[in-house]
Amino acid sequence: MEDTVKLTGTVSVKKSEAALIKKTSRAVRKNATETVMKIVLFICGITGVASVILITLYMILSGAPAIAKIGIINFLFGDTWYAKKGEFGILPMILTSITGTTGAIIIGVPMGLLTAVFLAETAPKSLRNAVKPAIELLAGIPSVIYGLLGAVLVKPVFYYLEELIYKDDPTHKFTGGANLASAMVVLSIMILPTIINISETAIKAVPEEFREASYGLGATHIQTIFKVVIPAAKSGIASGVVLGVGRAIGEAMAIMLVAGNSANMPALFNSVKFLTTGVVAEFSYSSGLHRQALFGIGLVLFVFIIIINIILNVILKSGRKGTAQ
Amino acid sequence: MKKKSLLATAAALSLSLVFTGCGVSVPGGEETTTTTAAQADDTTAKAEDTTTAAAATSTGELSGTITMNGSTSMEKVIKALNGAFMAEHPGVTIELNLTGSGTGIQEAMEGKCDIGNSSRALKDEETGLTPTIIGIDGIAIIVNNENKVTDISLENLEKVYAGEITNWSELGGDDKPIVVIGREDGSGTRDGFEGIVMKNSEAKYAQELESTGSVISAVETTAGAIGYASLANVDDTVRALSINGVVPSADTIKDKTYAIQRPFICAVKSDSTNELVKAYLEFALSEKGQEQVKNSGAFPIN
């Protein structure tokens, strides 16, 4: 506004012309705003996509050379990881990530699912109002805090158990409680909120008619939940589980503090190294091929996550088909 | 109008900043050349004169920024040195990152930082750098405070880490399994430890932890644990074992009777012409600098 007034003052044109200038300049400015905003929106829109493409390219470019140099068979199926000696076999880490995640799922899914059922179906409203925010808070707690608590609370328990179980076994390598079992417990707690929140939503989305029909046939509340509601919500629950798997397999900070981080084959009371912790723990001091090999691990982890996402998409798609029919 | 004038002010401000930046740094650079030359002369001439030379330097307005990255085990030493250096030269800022010896050396090689701090000797593939040893670190073998064992021979230590000795009773302690704790693959401390101790066998760890502090706290909380850490970082939460009867201390490290020790290195690009970095290294090697090294728990080079 000030600009135009000043303009008329300096150029001293007729009033009608001034109005015209004012009008056109406003139109131009309006058009400009439109275009600028469209560009801004476009940039925001493609940033995410561009990041994915860049990350994918970067991981392949920096991970592939090491894998090629080590040999894909040696890299994926070698059972010794000893960077100083130039041995870069990540089979123990792959198996550890898989068993660790499986263990977390075995402990976490039943607990999470039952909590979701409790929240969605049987909890009194006042209790629900207390539990629900607590679980949401659980989802927001930084992973390193889970690790710290694991190191202080979980590790000593497994140290005690280890000394009891392996008392007379001289071949056992004592881990002081930093082992796969501790990592599984910490991971299972970490994936709880994901599973609970998504399962609860899925259970709540089951149409009320299903329940009414079930009650009408004489089923009890519990029978209805386990025979009707959960089967009807299974694709939602499955996607919660898959997301939980995603979180567990990608977690590093928390389990680094409780897993022991030696690249051994997975066993409950073995000190183990996950794919993620392998990268985090060694990156800062690595150099040369060792560092490249860590990018190789990153690439393997990346492929894992992509596979999990594909599985998730398949589940979601089949779920949608199921409700459409 | 308002926007334009704001823009103009911002532009003017940034311009003036650039100019003042130049104004400070250009003469500062010149000053540096002269003062460091003087300082170098003094250090070679008389040790007592170093303090006066340093005092003269502080009036000579050394200024600029030194960036450094590297070893976590050197943290205490480097921070003490940096503090003393910046106190003497208020115009100097030192940006310190602690991401590990490997990263520090790599960044120094790539020119991403001026000084790469390393708690191990440079490897063959790490070329183009000139290492300056600024101090010596003793690696302490630590056990839980409840442990009754006080001494271990270098041979037995190797056997413990190789997994041949698995119970403290074999070393004169309680009947308790040994939990072997160490650092992650690639760590300078681990390299230092294994280079000195693991002569004939490979170390097999129960826990590989990613920092000196983690090792100490793991040993503190695990009754059967044994670990290793920079002597500089060991406090009374854990107990350091003597090696072959030699207690780790300043004296035993200086006279080299304590077996497990390693160098602390500041690596600088060999073709570096950065006078500020030169002044820093000279300071680190000066009596004052070595005093800081000593006070922070590492050991002076002489």
Written as six digits, the tokens of B127 are: 């070329």
For B278-297, the DSSP string reads HHHHHHHHSHHHHHHHHHTT
Written as six digits, the tokens of A109 are: 């899914």
pLDDT band for position A323 (50/70/90)? low
Q: Evaluate the CA torsion angle A46, A50, A51, A52 in order and state its sign.
A: positive
Going by their DSSP bridges, the two strands A87-88 and A81-82 should be labelled as antiparallel
pLDDT of B278: 92
Interface of A with B (CB under 8 A): 2-3, 6, 81-85, 151-152, 155-156, 159, 163, 166, 170, 172-178, 256-257, 260-262, 271, 273, 280-288, 290-291
The answer to whether residue B7 scores a pLDDT higher than 80 is no
B136 bridge partner residues = B263, B299
Instruction: Quickly count: other Cβ atoms within 10 Å of residue A82's Cβ.
Output: 13
Out of B191, B206, B209, closest to residue A174 by CB: B206
Task: Name the one residue in this structure whose structure tokens are 């009890």.
Answer: A220
Chain B closest CA to A283's CA: distance in Å? 8
The one-letter amino acid at A289 = L
Q: Compare all CA atoms of chain B with the CA of A159 and give the residue at the minimum distance.
A: B222
Distance between CA atoms of residues A90 and A302, nearest Å = 14
Reported as a single tens digit per residue, the pLDDT across A68-93 is 999 999 999 999 988 877 889 999 99
Written as six digits, the tokens of A30 are: 């309006």
Nearest C-alpha neighbor of B108 from the set B265, B260, B262: B265
Q: Compare all CA atoms of chain A with the CA of B210 and give the residue at the minimum distance.
A: A281
Nearest C-alpha neighbor of B215 from the set B130, B139, B283, B164: B139
Q: Which of A158, A180, A285, A291 to mutate to test the interface with B (most CBs of B within 10 A)?
A: A285
224-243 in chain B: CB under 8 A from chain A: 224-225
In a 13 Å sphere around the CA of B66, the CA atoms on its Cβ side amount to: 32
Out of B1, B205, B208, closest to residue A2 by CB: B1
Mean pLDDT over B280-284 rounds to 93
Written as six digits, the tokens of B229 are: 């850490």
Alpha-carbon separation of residue B5 from A3, A153, B9 (angstroms):
13, 60, 6
What is the second-level CATH architecture of the domain A72-324? Orthogonal Bundle (1.10)
Task: Name the one residue in this structure whose structure tokens are 């402990």.
Answer: A107
SS3 category, B239: strand
Alpha-carbon separation of residue A129 from A123, A132, A134, A135, B259 (angstroms):
9, 6, 9, 11, 63
User: Does the distance separating the beta carbons of B1 and A3 come in below 8 Å?
Assistant: yes
Average per-residue pLDDT in chain A? 88
Alpha-carbon separation of residue A38 from A31, A163, B229 (angstroms):
11, 65, 57
Distance between CA atoms of residues B240 and B238, nearest Å = 7
pLDDT of A322: 53
Q: Compare all CA atoms of chain A with the CA of B118 and give the residue at the minimum distance.
A: A285
Chain B closest CA to A111's CA: distance in Å? 30
pLDDT of A320: 66
Mean pLDDT over A34-41 rounds to 92
Ramachandran area for residue A84 (φ above 0: left; ψ -120 to 50: alpha; else beta): alpha
Chain A contacts of B209, Cβ < 8 Å? 261, 281
The answer to whether residue B49 scores a pLDDT higher than 60 is no
Distance between CA atoms of residues A75 and A321, nearest Å = 40
Reported as a single tens digit per residue, the pLDDT across B158-191 is 999 999 999 999 999 999 999 999 998 877 788 7
The size of chain A, in residues, is 325
Out of B166, B207, B214, closest to residue A176 by CB: B207
Distance between CA atoms of residues B114 and B96, nearest Å = 10
Reported as a single tens digit per residue, the pLDDT across B134-165 is 999 889 999 999 999 999 999 999 999 999 99
Nearest C-alpha neighbor of A236 from the set A308, A315, A325: A315
Chain B contacts of A284, Cβ < 8 Å? 72, 99-100, 102-103, 186, 210
Distance between CA atoms of residues A301 and A272, nearest Å = 16
More confident residue, B235 or B40: B235
Task: Encode burial over B256-279: b for 16+ CB neighbours within 10 A, e otherwise.
Answer: eebbbbbbbbbbbbeebebbbbbb
User: Does the distance separating the beta carbons of A280 and B188 come in below 8 Å?
Assistant: no
Chain A contacts of B208, Cβ < 8 Å? 260-262, 271, 273, 281
Instruction: Quickly count: other Cβ atoms within 10 Å of residue A272's Cβ.
Output: 31
Nearest C-alpha neighbor of A279 from the set A144, A97, A104, A145: A97
SS3 category, A301: helix
The answer to whether residue B302 scores a pLDDT higher than 80 is no
Considering only A11-20, A200-209, B240-249, which range has the smallest mean pLDDT?
Answer: A11-20
In a 13 Å sphere around the CA of B106, the CA atoms on its Cβ side amount to: 14
Q: Compare all CA atoms of chain A with the CA of B98 and give the residue at the minimum distance.
A: A284
Q: Evaluate the CA torsion angle A168, A172, A178, A179 in order and state its sign.
A: negative
Residue B187, chain A, CB below 8 Å: the answer is yes
Distance between CA atoms of residues B150 and B138, nearest Å = 17
For chain A, the structural domain boundaries read 4-70, 72-324
Distance between CA atoms of residues B223 and A236, nearest Å = 46
Q: Which of B123, B184, B214 to mutate to test the interface with A (most CBs of A within 10 A)?
A: B184
User: Does the distance separating the beta carbons of B207 and A290 come in below 8 Å?
Assistant: no
Q: How many CB pairs lie under 8 A apart between chains A and B?
A: 111
More confident residue, B20 or A55: A55
pLDDT of B33: 36
User: Does the distance separating the beta carbons of B179 and A175 come in below 8 Å?
Assistant: yes
SS3 category, B266: strand
Task: Encode burial over B66-80: b for 16+ CB neighbours within 10 A, e otherwise.
Answer: bbbbbbbbbbbbbeb
pLDDT band for position B35 (50/70/90)? very low
Its pTM stands at 0.70
Reported as a single tens digit per residue, the pLDDT across A187-234 is 999 999 999 999 999 999 999 999 999 999 999 999 999 999 999 999
pLDDT band for position B43 (50/70/90)? very low
